[in-house]
Amino acid sequence: MSKKERASQVFDILQECYPDAKIALNFEDKFQLLVAVVLSAQCTDERVNMVTPKLFEVYPSIEAFAGAKQEDLEKLIYSTGFFRNKAKNIIGAAKKIVEDFEGEVPGTMEQLLTIPGVARKTANVILSSGFGKNEGVTVDTHVIRISGLLGFVPKKLSKSKNAVKIEQELMKLFPRDRWGKLSHLLIFHGRQKCIARRPKCEECRLNELCPSAFKAQR
Enumerate the active-site residues: 121, 140
- Cα→Cα distances 35→60, 96, 205, Å: 12, 14, 35
Range list of H helices, 20-81? 30-39, 45-58, 62-66, 70-77
Contact 148, 190 (CB under 8 A): no
Number of Cβ within a 10 Å radius of residue 25: 19
Q: How many residues does the chain have?
A: 218
* Residue 37 identity: V
**CA angle at residue 181 from 175 to 185, to 5 degrees?**
115
d(CA 163, CA 119): 12
Contacts 24+ apart (CB under 8 A), 209-216: 209/6, 209/9, 209/10, 209/13, 209/150, 210/10, 210/149, 210/150, 210/151, 211/149, 211/150, 211/151, 212/149, 212/150, 212/151
